[in-house]
Amino acid sequence: MELKKVFIGEAVVDYKPADVTKELHIRSSRDAYKMFKDFIGKEVHERELFLVAYLNRAHKVLWTEIMHIGGITGTLVDKRLILKKALVGNCTAIIIAHNHPSGAKQPSKNDREQTKQLKSACDLLDIALLDHIIVTEDDYYSFSDNGERSLL
């Protein structure tokens, strides 16, 4: 796999495109779960990771990245950094995800609050927050699928 360079603001970032996002279109929460689970890999049990998939208008995944590596019980969400990358990358939509090393798929009060705050910020910039996926080893929780559309 060849190394690529992307201009992001005033920085140039080298990265290797992940095979899991190559020509991937997200059509359902299950598609997003599979992509994020493959991306997280074995770390699903070790510590919380916060990920973002950046998409174009046709919901093709342009790239996916780990935005923060947390501890066993939590991770950070930097809304400004997420939206800056979406704007610079000309993305029209994002899907966020994080894993629960405990295996519990239900969102916490903090998960809901962070989703609501990011949704408000996305709305200001006309970027669609399509879903928030909580990834576990065997299953997932989709805010969109579980009637939490008011948060999305």
Task: Tell me the pLDDT tens digit for each residue of 107-123.
Answer: 999 999 999 999 999 99
Residue 82 sits in which domain range? 20-151
- Is 78 part of a structural domain of the chain? yes
Name the nearest CA neighbour of 119 among 145, 88, 139, 143: 143
The structure tokens 């090393």 sit at 101
CA dist., res. 114 & res. 45, Å (int): 22
Is residue 124 included in any domain, yes or no? yes
Q: What is the CATH number of the domain that holds 139?
A: 3.40.140.10
Please state the φ and ψ torsions of residue 113, each to the nearest 5 degrees.
-65, -45
Please tell me the total count of domains within the chain. 1
Tens of pLDDT, residue by residue over 5-31, are 555 666 555 555 555 455 789 999 999
pLDDT in tens, 32-86: 999 999 999 888 888 899 999 999 999 999 999 999 988 877 888 899 999 999 9
- The tally of CA atoms less than 13 A away on the side-chain side of residue 78 is 12
The answer to the question of residue 106 being in a domain is yes
| 144 within domain boundaries | yes
CA 60 to chain centre: 14
